[in-house]
Amino acid sequence: MATRIADTPEEWEVTATSTPFQGNKTGVRTDDVVMPDGAVVRRDYQTHPGSVAILALDDQDRVLVLSQYRHPVREKLWEIPAGLLDIPGENPLHAAQRELYEEAHVKAEDWRVLVDVYTTPGGSDEAVRIFLARELSEAEGVRFEVSEEEADMELARIPLEELVRGALAGELHNNCLVVGAFALNAVLMGGGGTGALRPSDAPWPARPFEA
C-alpha cells in the first residue's frame, strides 16, 4: 500500500517582525525565525489576502479561459477566471461566483472544490482555492464594466486536452490554469469522476471563512 502523506500545520518561533511595505492589497513582511539548530535567520515574504480561481467546464468539455496582460512578466497570459479574496473571512465560493460573473458574464449551477494550492510558499503566503464550475449559462443583467488590464481581455472556450497539451509544450504558464487543468484531467482519468471532489463549502484552513 502506498504511503499517504499530508501537509501539517507548524509554526517556528519568530523573535522579531516588521512590515517594510504595505500596498493596497499585498505587502512585504520580514520575520526573524528560529531554526532547528538555534540559529536566527531573516525571511522576507509577500503577504497576500488569498485568491480564488474557477475552472469553468461547459457541456462540450471546453474550459472558459481569458487572455490578460500581466506586467511583471511582460506577457499576455491565458488564464482561468480568478480574483482576490477582498473581504476578510469572505466565503470563497461567493467570491468565485462573483469573479465568474464579472470576468465572463457566466453563472454555474454545479460547484466543487478542485484543488487548494499555495502559489509560491517560499516567498509568499498566498493561498488559492480552485473551483470546478459546471452547468454553465449566461448570467442575467448588465455586463460588469471592466477597466485597466481587464479592459483588453479576450475570452475563449478551449478543450481541456488542449490546455494540458499547451502546458506541457511550454506554451501556457499561468499557475491556476496549469494546476486546474492537470487536476481535472487527473480526476477524469482516475475513474473516480468529479463526484469524488470535495463540496464547494469544504473547510479551507489556509483561509478560514464564514459559511
- E strands, 119-188, are 127-138, 154-159
d(C-alpha 81, C-alpha 106), whole Å = 10
Extract the C-alpha cell encoding 99.
469573479
d(C-alpha 95, C-alpha 173), whole Å = 24
d(C-alpha 130, C-alpha 117), whole Å = 8
Query: Which SS3 state, helix, strand or coil, does residue 27 take?
Result: strand
Extract the C-alpha cell encoding 63.
474550459
Query: Which SS3 state, helix, strand or coil, does residue 148 take?
Result: helix
Extract the C-alpha cell encoding 194.
468529479
CB atoms within 10 A of CB 83: 16
Q: Give alpha helix (H) positions in 31-147.
A: 92-104
Write out the catalytic residue numbers.
150
